[in-house]
Amino acid sequence: MANVAISPSGPSLLLAAPLDSVPSDRIISINVEQQWRVPNDMIADVGHRDTIVVSRWTRNITEPLEAVHQGSAANHCIAMTLRGASLTFVHGGTTLVRGRVPAGTVQITAPAVPCSVTFQSPADVLHLFVSQSVLRECFKDLFGRPQAGDIRINDPKLLRDPVLERLGQALAVSQSEDANLSKVFTDSVGLAIVSRIVSRHFTLADRKVRGPSALPNWRLSRAIEYVDGHLSEPICLADMASSAGLTRMHFASQFRRATGLRPHEYLLRRRIEHAQQLLIRSRHSVLDVALGCGFKSQAHFTTVFKRLVGETPFCWKARAVVG
């Protein structure tokens, strides 16, 4: 196993082991998906090997696209959204999403569960295909004992976890000029992601802590529609709560339960996602885009943009246009 330190509270990455000490079947990298959730045919059948297969589904066109996958017979699929997208996602015959999925969202599909998706916007998603061998290994490292029987993470609901979001971002940029180094780093971060998910799954199951109920989908849809329709205007918590028919206190707790984000953080992310679309599709200046997305100044816009995206609006636009 790659040199990854794991604790029940979550994994921490260490320096990867020297390349010559890593078995050849553990050297992986990110391959491009030609079909949704279908990695390179050479490595698609993970089976019971001690391997994580990582692939990336990217589309830059705006025309609607429908994709279907019947589900892997033996592997869990961890989907990590790198770019906010509008879509409809059906999992095992149940519609889980109909609307906007923000960047940083994670969704887990257990083996043999068919899924379909209809994209209404560009999208960028990482898929990690994880075998039972890897799940058992992570469980044993986390809890100091083997797990009896197969591990099945069968909660498909979207989840938000800051640690997973940062690990997904690190994995997305793990490619380097040194192919071997890139593969070892990808392997290490992939193991950290799986360990975090296994830890969350079993720890949360054991706690059984009652928390506030999640915002019902119809109320959530109203709040999201209100935000999307007023991005260029000042929006406060009371406005969002009123759109959903709740008090501020009840709305804030239920919204966070449903999305994993505080209302203010969600609002900032939607403003930035809208700004990214304007930066690519229009010839407006950065200042015009900032004001059109509800920011009071270019400086504040740049600060928030860099915090959420990782680079300034100018640099991001230059790279996006070239790409």
Of 256, 257, 259, 143, give the one whose Cα is nearest residue 198. 143
Residue 272 falls within a domain, yes or no? yes
Q: Are residues 35 and 178 in the same domain?
A: yes
Q: State how far the Cα of 78 lies from the Cα of 130, in Å rounded to an integer.
A: 8
Residue 37 falls within a domain, yes or no? yes
Angle, CA 260 vertex, CA 62 and CA 223 arms, to 5°: 65
- Residue 240 DSSP label: H
Residue 310 falls within a domain, yes or no? yes
Provide the terminal-to-terminal Cα distance of the chain, rounded to the nearest Å: 35
pLDDT tens digits for 178-188? 555 567 788 88
Q: Are residues 11 and 160 in the same domain?
A: yes
- Containing structural domain, residue 76: 4-207
Q: Are residues 248 and 101 in the same domain?
A: no
Q: What is the mean pLDDT of residues 283-290?
A: 91
Q: Are residues 196 and 238 in the same domain?
A: no
pLDDT tens digits for 250-279? 899 899 888 888 999 999 999 999 999 999
Q: Three-class SS of residue 313? A: helix
Residue 250 falls within a domain, yes or no? yes
**Residue 218: count of CB within 10 angstroms of its CB:** 9
Q: Are residues 134 and 275 in the same domain?
A: no
- Cα dist from 259 to 81, 251, 256, 264, whole Å: 14, 12, 5, 12
Residue 133 falls within a domain, yes or no? yes
Q: Are residues 165 and 257 in the same domain?
A: no
Q: Are residues 198 and 221 in the same domain?
A: no
Q: Are residues 129 and 172 in the same domain?
A: yes
Q: Give this prediction's pTM.
A: 0.62
Of 207, 240, 257, which residue sits at a domain end?
A: 207
- Residue 158 DSSP label: -
Mean of pLDDT over the chain: 82
Amino acid (1-letter code) at residue 225: E
Based on the structure, what is the number of domains in the chain? 2
- For helices 162-172 and 179-207, the axis angle rounded to 10 degrees is 160
Provide the pLDDT for residue 25: 42
- Cα dist from 18 to 172, 180, 182, whole Å: 22, 10, 12
**More confidently predicted of 46 and 96:** 96
Provide the pLDDT for residue 13: 30
Q: Are residues 170 and 224 in the same domain?
A: no
Q: What is the mean pLDDT of residues 48-68?
A: 85
Q: Are residues 269 and 314 in the same domain?
A: yes
Residue 212 falls within a domain, yes or no? no
Of 30, 104, 27, 33, give the one whose Cα is nearest residue 65. 33
Provide the pLDDT for residue 323: 58
125: left (phi over 0), alpha (psi -120 to 50) or beta: beta
Of 187, 207, 227, which residue sits at a domain end?
A: 207
Q: What is the CATH number of the domain that holds 247?
A: 1.10.10.60
Residue 297 falls within a domain, yes or no? yes
Residue 190 falls within a domain, yes or no? yes
Provide the pLDDT for residue 144: 87
Q: Are residues 197 and 238 in the same domain?
A: no
Backbone angles phi, psi at 185, to 5 degrees: -65, -45
Of 181, 207, 233, which residue sits at a domain end?
A: 207
Q: What is the CATH number of the domain that holds 27?
A: 2.60.120.10
Q: Are residues 69 and 194 in the same domain?
A: yes
Model confidence band, residue 211 (pLDDT cutoffs 50, 70, 90): low
